[in-house]
Structure 1
Amino acid sequence: MTITKALSELKLLEKRANKLIDETTFVTFTVGGEPPRDARSAAEFNDRVRARRQSVTDLLRRRSAIKAAVVASNARTTVDIAGQTYTVAAAIERKASVAFEQRLIARLRSDLARVQREVELHNERAGERLDQQAQALLGKEGSRGAEYEALHRSFMDRNAARLLDPLDAQADMDRLSDQVEAFLAEVDQALSVSNALTVIDVP
């Protein structure tokens, strides 16, 4: 059967097994010679419970056989997604764990934006202090000449905030965002095609 059919049967088997388990009373009691509730006799109850228990076992055994065949196939079948080759298992895992990459992107974005605002605010305040010092030292007339430029360089060397960005967060974020978006845009289609074409043998 194809992987698509296998996945469909797995869902059906799980649904039937859960229903059978939930709707079966496996243990009851009798009083005197009276039959148990929901049965005409103790023998009928016993037979029904054994039959249903066997049915659950058969369903779960079939589910395990299909699941094992799907897992083995996923480990060896490859798909190409956004220019990279993955096993189906690796593609499924990346799809499940892409939230971590999205969390990292969000953190890079928020850190960069926050620190850029802090640097800008700090430097605005430093500039205001510089203007006050320049007026005090040079007077209004001297606040734009060569002396001011020398004072400005000296003051800002000591007081300016500078972004410390060892990863180049914007470039890192852009690169990672492109990778995640390209992967998510193609992964479902690639897996669907692979599942429709890949055939497995279930014992």
Structure 2
Amino acid sequence: MTNETMTVHKGLAELKIIGDRINKAISQGTFCKANKHSNEKINGVSIEKFKTQIQSDWDKVNDLIKRRNAIKRAVVLSNAITKVKVGNEEYTVAEAIEMKNTGMQYKKDLMNTLNKQYVEAIRITEKENGETLNQKAENYVIGLYGSKEGKTSIDEIENTKKQFILNNTFELIDPIKIKEKIDALEQEIADFEAEIDSALSVSNSITNLEISY
């Protein structure tokens, strides 16, 4: 049984390279061999020596696999219970990593969609209102009363124009206060991205793992 203490940072660094070591030990290892009965040597060494080499190759691969799995297990368990503070939120390391890799992207997608729809809605509203709407109203009353000049009161014409403008004015339907939502998401994303890497790095450098295999 091997017992060892290391930081999460060291464990993660070893996990990055131990996979290649395992693959190399597997691909370069010899675990059995066909041999003519009369041969007393294989590859220049005695059969007993060759058997020892086979056992050594087997032990090397399995020791590396056991070590890799022990480190990985310790990291996973540590990440599940170790807490980090990112912005105003507290996460386990596992939660923070998930937010960094996936969860925050959904918030970015939401923010971008909100912003795109908001900009387009404002563009349409501003285009359809203002001078454009006034001109449409003028054309409407001219078309309606043009042939009745002198027979229609100024007040009636003005009221008709006002009613036309009221009926045709574009307005933003915004029950969620979309601009506030966009600003809040933008701030949340900025705060998270500014602090997440540092928070994880500090945590990994001071958190110890107990490795047993």
More deviation in 164-173 or 191-200? 164-173
- The match for 1:15 among 8, 15, 20 is 20
- The match for 2:111 among 101, 105, 116 is 105
Question: Which residue of structure 2 lines up, in the alignment, with residue 79 of structure 1?
Answer: 84
- The match for 2:123 among 117, 120, 126 is 117
Residue 163 of structure 1 pairs with residue 175 of structure 2: no
Residue 66 of structure 1 pairs with residue 105 of structure 2: no
Question: Which residue of structure 2 lines up, in the alignment, with residue 128 of structure 1?
Answer: 135
Please give the per-residue CA displacement for 1:63-117, whole angstroms capped at 9, x wherever unaligned: 1111111111111111111122111111111111211111111111111111222
Preserved contact between residue 122 and residue 161 of structure 1 (Cα < 8 Å): yes
Preserved contact between residue 24 and residue 49 of structure 1 (Cα < 8 Å): no
Preserved contact between residue 95 and residue 187 of structure 1 (Cα < 8 Å): yes
More deviation in 155-164 or 174-183? 155-164
Q: What TM-score do you get using the length of structure 1 for normalisation?
A: 0.79
1:152 Cα deviation from its structure 2 partner: 3.2
Structure 1 unpaired stretches of 5+: none
Distance 2:58 2:134 in 1: 81
Preserved contact between residue 78 and residue 88 of structure 1 (Cα < 8 Å): yes
Distance 2:79 2:110 in 1: 28
Structure 2 unpaired stretches of 5+: 1-5
Distance 2:30 2:155 in 1: 95
Counterpart of 2:85, as a letter, is D
Question: Which residue of structure 1 lines up, in the alignment, with residue 99 of structure 2?
Answer: 94
Residue 197 to residue 29, structure 1, CA distance change in 2 (3 Å): closer
Which protein has greater RCO, CA pairs closer than 8 Å, 6+ apart? 2
**Percent of aligned pairs sharing the same letter:** 34
Counterpart of 1:167, as a letter, is I
Question: Which residue of structure 1 lines up, in the alignment, with residue 11 of structure 2?
Answer: 6
Residue 189 of structure 1 pairs with residue 198 of structure 2: yes
1:131 Cα deviation from its structure 2 partner: 1.6
Residue 28 to residue 71, structure 1, CA distance change in 2 (3 Å): closer
Distance 2:81 2:35 in 1: 58
Larger radius of gyration: 2
Distance 2:28 2:134 in 1: 79
Distance 1:11 1:51 in 2: 24
Question: Which residue of structure 1 lines up, in the alignment, with residue 28 of structure 2?
Answer: 24
**1:134-145 paired onto structure 2 within 5 Å:** 134-137=141-144
Q: Tell me the number of residue pairs that the alignment of Structure 1 and Structure 2 aligns.
A: 197
1:49 Cα deviation from its structure 2 partner: 6.0
Residue 150 to residue 45, structure 1, CA distance change in 2 (3 Å): farther
Distance 1:170 1:146 in 2: 40
Please give the per-residue CA displacement for 1:15-48, whole angstroms capped at 9, x wherever unaligned: 2123334x43779997989x9xxx569x688876
SS state at 1:8 partner: helix
Over the aligned positions, Cα root-mean-square deviation in angstroms equals: 3.3
Q: What TM-score do you get using the length of structure 2 for normalisation?
A: 0.76
